[in-house]
Structure 1
């Protein structure tokens, strides 16, 4: 038992915990997601999306009718602004307090979530969106309810996929199906909803995507029509206005398409400009929405009564009862009011405003045709204009054609819709590429390469590409004593159990620990304590499916099987390295493959330490600070320091045969040796010639048995595809097996004698205020373990521990903060403060605290389990390092 001190009584689990774990393991095979579950989920998503759309429609109609009734009985100049201000303030307070993710139309949030951004979609967001939209539309803001129904449907679908086992691919398709069901419920246009999913959201026409989208959309549309006051008869009352297209009308439809494209591009730019203006005003969300509601109320009170009911205005234009003067005025007023409303951040969509503006524009062109040719139908042009303007704004021409066709169900409209929608799309895309929703997503700071947005970040790799084919296994009849010896000889913490090449179970070091507490008999066999029928994957399963199983069941490894035959195994470390290599696109490297690095100079000190810290040195200005900090860690852990300098040589030259001048490099290494003598720390030095710096560092780690890398890093933007921190650091994060500490040194300004200023890097003696972010996980612990050593360099430093909690959490779990305080209190005597924070964006919240609080050092632990997702989408540690002006220390523990 001495070989395994973690099996002590102090850490032994209780019997009921063990039984629960075994029960969960027994039911695991039943919980593995199956494709049939996706079909059932799609039906349920269609039902709940349709019901939510009906509820939204009825509530908006009921509360909005009170507003219109009050404006008819009392002076509109008083009633409408008061309604707008009061309901707007209430809406803003609700959204800001319970779910800031519910602002806007919701389509950008869906696109971001489908592109694997950390954007929240759950039941809370759906409820806040529902209530916020009711209040904002009832306040008189000129927005639509169709966009929110799309957001609500997607959020409900996302919540459902958390309750029902669903793999990542199915989850993305369920979210898209929920969005389609919401759109179908809002417009009663199921076919257009399916096309919108394919054209705008997923860009996927697989059987599963089409099947789930069709089911959810049609069920949502049927429920909306039956419960929302309509019927299953799709023929509208507008058929009497239909007429065939004549050849002389084609130039006017082309003109309509060009105008819709121009004005649609202007509308998109106006939306972004409005958002930027509100942002610069720096008002709170309730104030922004309240002011927008009041402005809309003041303006609408001076306009004709049709403006008080958005749907009434559209119907008036389509039926042809409006004059061209009224229509022109309606277009300008509605255009401006929509910009004011949406820019405030109020929950509300742009689908309906786009259709109203398009109908007004088309009606004007139709009136012009009647005056010029003497015949024509302004109503046909109004309907064609709806599709054209919708196409120009959303950049989905096929969806625009089908959605208006489904609303009218008249084949005479198909050709005019095709002409105007395609022309407007081409003109608008020429002036402003990309859909409005993608640009809104980018405005919020979420940017991905196009291929990643469209294809999905985890596409391409299969389990067979990642698995280790040579697998160490144990037999089911092996005793616990023999298994303990096998674990002691290996670095693995789990083994597949195989009999006659058939996988019969899996055994982990935890299972053995539990068994030794329950059954002290060392002759107990693995068959009695192993997990039978473990979760496995097929060699054809995708990487995202493997990641889902690892995360859902909190596993560190998955056997790969064909039938019951074990053919390989996949670990978390394998996935991180394989996916990161695919993203890094190494094929663009010119010249032959890099050759091994070559040591051109080295010095050795007595090997007296229990481990080694590798310190790569590059910049003579920052080297003194890095060496002092590394020395403090080395002295605390009784480590030696290995200083490394790498000289890059062209790929055309052999590092071993290249003549180099190392005089300047030796001066920097001599400084490190002098520091080692002062601190009584063994310092080794070496200079390597190499084709690749990262490869040279990895070779040094292996040859010199490095335990920790301590290196500087400049938080500069990286433009290479797949790069997060930069070529060298990214490679080390992925492949370096030892602990890694990155330091971005902060700089300060000092006045010179000539009146100018210069930047300088303060020594650790000037690091008085320390901010440590806590998020749980092993790397937060690694960050805390560094503090006792690092704070010995500063003069009476103050330590502040912080953790960011979601705004929706009324009583956040501060257990991690309490554990961190207890840990540090037993090791240092410095002052320790605790500052819990609330914020929707972790990085932005920490950056704001660090910069406003005047902290000298910020310490961040990089979650190894989430590192892959961070590298693909949005890296929180990198964002903090780039946004914080002071020194930032990033800690990543050793890889398994």
Structure 2
């Protein structure tokens, strides 16, 4: 029950109350949440605009410096443009290594982890460090975008607002979608796409219980952004009115092409990241700097060969705008920008840089669609407006193929370009790209990045459904870095060590001195042989039974069948290229647990 104003004043006179306590006393729950949602929208809108302008200010300053000192000397100009992302990578690498490791990458995987695993609890320092590193990294010319970091920044800000007002854990968790939606809305000036992205990428379903708060924060953040930067869409277009015509059928082959190129792009990011960031022995802090050096060299090479195009550096939206308006109609230039951005952004992310993948995905998609339009111009005589329109369709299809949020991909392109006549081909190409890419790679990009970080996806979003989850790779539910026992140690030593660690599982992988898999042994077998063979090495006690091992890419359905047929409760998951390198372990309990979670989500 609320205190009356008189009683509230009387209590305040006797005791000093915190702001959250006064807030709870004066307002009803509905009023309190409404005020918190409005505060969140305003704060996220201001943070997103400040982040955008800070990146733009730094990047413009670097370009101005390069042109001032290198105006008469291509060598000096190129040296400054190579040095900038290298230095930016070095600074961000040092911060990421020693001060803020959670600020690496795009920020969307981190946001999903916090939401599903940590009740949406972010530290306040994450807001500051994400802002600083994002500005240094993207502003210095690292070939990534600001949208993913904006999501992380605003989600962390929303979480801390909820914590400040003393909300319960589940309520703080519910603040994260508000911050995510507000961040996307302010970054792209696309409030409708922001709503779809929150539900497709984070929440996984379109539950009505979450709509109200997200809508309010998105609307407020968009209003703040428009008041400060203007009403114009993300790209300044002058194409005129396009009408439905036969050339729009090109959206179908473009969607197919975007799916396969998107698959290659995702693979490039994951493989470079696995090789460099996760496995390489070089110091962590130097990796982003080395990535910045490669980006600088690629960017300068493309700049000189394309007569001044700088789209490889930073966000690159100036070249995207040029392509969308049909002004960039040279195939060789478009191809250089496409290839350069593909390489530079893959290297930037793979080498541990800080920045998002939305901007490079839209850039590569625009160049891909634009190249198809340019080919059509040479073969059929299409005018420049159709080149621009094909670039828009390419952006949407490639976004759908890489990010794998089909509704977001349609709405975001429409909101950023405001071309109503392109809705039908946009829908056709995007859905086709999404369907094919889903077949080519069952785990979406952001979830694959989480798996590389050994974060299990047992609590998968509800949208995976009761049919789809069985086709996912077993790596999504396996336990990473399982408890192992040393084959050279005695049974007694291993059992004592397990007892000290408080571990008791059904079975354990047995490894040699180099941590290579040599077998499996159950806890029951160890106990059974303890009296007679306590001082024997564990490797001599193991049965001669063949090791039943699994590959990380095997589907959950196939793994369940293997475990049942082989009559084992668990099996180690090993590398596809090295059958003795253990990556994790999966049990029948893991699979049953996942089925129970799906049944609960579907209300069975």
TM-score, structure 2 normalization: 0.70
Give distance in 1, aligned partners of 2:362 and 2:24. 49
How far 1:40 moved relative to its partner?
2.1
Distance change (3 Å), C-alpha of 1:629 and 1:61: closer
Identify the residue that residue 364 of structure 1 maps to in structure 2: 371
CA contact under 8 A between 2:259 and 2:401: conserved in structure 1? Answer: yes
Q: Does 1:320 align with 2:326?
A: yes
Identify the residue that residue 398 of structure 2 maps to in structure 1: 389
Task: Provide, for residues 341-399 of structure 1, a one-character-per-residue CA deviation record: whole Å limited to 9, x for no partner.
Answer: 01122210000000000100010111222333333501101011111111111100110
Identify the residue that residue 416 of structure 2 maps to in structure 1: 407
CA contact under 8 A between 1:317 and 1:379: conserved in structure 2? Answer: yes
How far 1:34 moved relative to its partner?
3.0
Task: Provide, for residues 561-583 of structure 1, a one-character-per-residue CA deviation record: whole Å limited to 9, x for no partner.
Answer: xxxxxxxxxxxxxxxxxxxxxxx
Aligned-residue CA RMSD (Å): 3.8
- SS of structure 2 residue aligned to 1:115: helix
Distance change (3 Å), C-alpha of 1:451 and 1:33: farther
Identify the residue that residue 359 of structure 2 maps to in structure 1: 352
How far 1:71 moved relative to its partner?
2.1
Q: Mark the runs of 5 or more structure 2 residues left unpaired by the alignment.
A: 1-13, 71-75, 466-489, 510-521, 543-592, 595-604
Give distance in 1, aligned partners of 2:413 and 2:18. 54
Alignment of 1:190-209 (within 5 A): 190-209=191-210
CA contact under 8 A between 1:241 and 1:380: conserved in structure 2? Answer: no
Give distance in 1, aligned partners of 2:267 and 2:234. 37
Identify the residue that residue 294 of structure 2 maps to in structure 1: 295
Distance change (3 Å), C-alpha of 1:446 and 1:711: closer
Task: Provide, for residues 215-237 of structure 1, a one-character-per-residue CA deviation record: whole Å limited to 9, x for no partner.
Answer: 1112112212222x3x2355974
Task: Provide, for residues 178-199 of structure 1, a one-character-per-residue CA deviation record: whole Å limited to 9, x for no partner.
Answer: 0111111110001100111111
- SS of structure 2 residue aligned to 1:306: coil
In the alignment of these two chains, the number of paired residues is 469
How far 1:240 moved relative to its partner?
2.9
Identify the residue that residue 187 of structure 2 maps to in structure 1: 186
CA contact under 8 A between 2:40 and 2:158: conserved in structure 1? Answer: yes
Identify the residue that residue 126 of structure 2 maps to in structure 1: 125
How far 1:624 moved relative to its partner?
10
Give distance in 2, aligned partners of 1:56 and 1:203. 28
Identify the residue that residue 550 of structure 1 maps to in structure 2: none
Identify the residue that residue 817 of structure 1 maps to in structure 2: none
Q: Given the alignment, which residue of 301, 306, 309 partners 1:306? A: 309
- SS of structure 2 residue aligned to 1:245: coil
Give distance in 1, aligned partners of 2:63 and 2:234. 29
CA contact under 8 A between 1:33 and 1:166: conserved in structure 2? Answer: no
How far 1:207 moved relative to its partner?
3.9
Identify the residue that residue 443 of structure 2 maps to in structure 1: 434
Task: Provide, for residues 722-777 of structure 1, a one-character-per-residue CA deviation record: whole Å limited to 9, x for no partner.
Answer: xxxxxx99xxxxxxxxxxxx9xx9xxxx999xxxx94689xxxxxxxxxxxxxxxx
Identify the residue that residue 527 of structure 1 maps to in structure 2: none
How far 1:303 moved relative to its partner?
2.1
Relative to its length, the structure with more strand (as a share) is 1
Q: Does 1:331 align with 2:329?
A: no
- SS of structure 1 residue aligned to 2:117: coil
Distance change (3 Å), C-alpha of 1:624 and 1:223: closer
Task: Provide, for residues 537-556 of structure 1, a one-character-per-residue CA deviation record: whole Å limited to 9, x for no partner.
Answer: xxxxxxxxxxxxxxxxxxxx
Distance change (3 Å), C-alpha of 1:283 and 1:379: same
Give distance in 2, aligned partners of 1:261 and 1:281. 30
Identify the residue that residue 38 of structure 2 maps to in structure 1: 43
CA contact under 8 A between 2:134 and 2:146: conserved in structure 1? Answer: yes
Identify the residue that residue 608 of structure 1 maps to in structure 2: none
CA contact under 8 A between 1:38 and 1:166: conserved in structure 2? Answer: no
CA contact under 8 A between 2:121 and 2:173: conserved in structure 1? Answer: no
Give distance in 1, aligned partners of 2:430 and 2:155. 27
TM-score, structure 1 normalization: 0.48
Identify the residue that residue 110 of structure 2 maps to in structure 1: 109
Q: Which has the higher contact order (CA 8 A, sep 6+)?
A: 2
CA contact under 8 A between 2:258 and 2:365: conserved in structure 1? Answer: yes
Give distance in 2, aligned partners of 1:261 and 1:354. 12
Give distance in 2, aligned partners of 1:624 and 1:363. 66
Q: Given the alignment, which residue of 252, 261, 264 partners 2:262? A: 264
Distance change (3 Å), C-alpha of 1:270 and 1:120: farther
Identify the residue that residue 273 of structure 2 maps to in structure 1: 275
Q: Given the alignment, which residue of 33, 40, 53 partners 1:58? A: 53
Q: Mark the runs of 5 or more structure 1 residues left unpaired by the alignment.
A: 1-18, 457-620, 634-709, 718-727, 730-741, 762-871, 874-896
Give distance in 2, aligned partners of 1:49 and 1:103. 20
Task: Provide, for residues 583-630 of structure 1, a one-character-per-residue CA deviation record: whole Å limited to 9, x for no partner.
Answer: xxxxxxxxxxxxxxxxxxxxxxxxxxxxxxxxxxxxxx8579969999
How far 1:125 moved relative to its partner?
0.8
CA contact under 8 A between 1:101 and 1:120: conserved in structure 2? Answer: no
Distance change (3 Å), C-alpha of 1:351 and 1:112: same
- SS of structure 1 residue aligned to 2:435: helix
Identify the residue that residue 146 of structure 2 maps to in structure 1: 145
Q: Given the alignment, which residue of 370, 375, 380 partners 2:389? A: 380
CA contact under 8 A between 1:384 and 1:420: conserved in structure 2? Answer: yes
Give distance in 1, aligned partners of 2:323 and 2:389. 11
Alignment of 1:493-508 (within 5 A): none
How far 1:114 moved relative to its partner?
2.0
Give distance in 2, aligned partners of 1:241 and 1:420. 22
CA contact under 8 A between 1:115 and 1:454: conserved in structure 2? Answer: no
Give distance in 2, aligned partners of 1:206 and 1:369. 43
CA contact under 8 A between 1:441 and 1:447: conserved in structure 2? Answer: yes
Distance change (3 Å), C-alpha of 1:241 and 1:333: farther
Distance change (3 Å), C-alpha of 1:175 and 1:372: same
How far 1:118 moved relative to its partner?
7.8
Q: Given the alignment, which residue of 412, 417, 423 partners 2:426? A: 417
CA contact under 8 A between 2:116 and 2:459: conserved in structure 1? Answer: no
Identify the residue that residue 286 of structure 1 maps to in structure 2: 285
Decide which structure has the larger Cα Rg and report it.
1
Task: Provide, for residues 689-746 of structure 1, a one-character-per-residue CA deviation record: whole Å limited to 9, x for no partner.
Answer: xxxxxxxxxxxxxxxxxxxxx99546648xxxxxxxxxx99xxxxxxxxxxxx9xx9x
Give distance in 1, aligned partners of 2:294 and 2:24. 58
Identify the residue that residue 218 of structure 2 maps to in structure 1: 217
CA contact under 8 A between 1:235 and 1:409: conserved in structure 2? Answer: no
Distance change (3 Å), C-alpha of 1:716 and 1:215: farther
Distance change (3 Å), C-alpha of 1:235 and 1:133: closer
Give distance in 1, aligned partners of 2:101 and 2:234. 40
Give distance in 2, aligned partners of 1:235 and 1:80. 26
Alignment of 1:733-772 (within 5 A): 758=539
Give distance in 1, aligned partners of 2:260 and 2:28. 48
Identify the residue that residue 445 of structure 1 maps to in structure 2: 454
Give distance in 1, aligned partners of 2:205 and 2:362. 26
Give distance in 1, aligned partners of 2:175 and 2:127. 15
Distance change (3 Å), C-alpha of 1:759 and 1:139: farther
Give distance in 1, aligned partners of 2:49 and 2:160. 20
- SS of structure 2 residue aligned to 1:320: coil
Give distance in 1, aligned partners of 2:92 and 2:497. 54
CA contact under 8 A between 1:33 and 1:165: conserved in structure 2? Answer: no
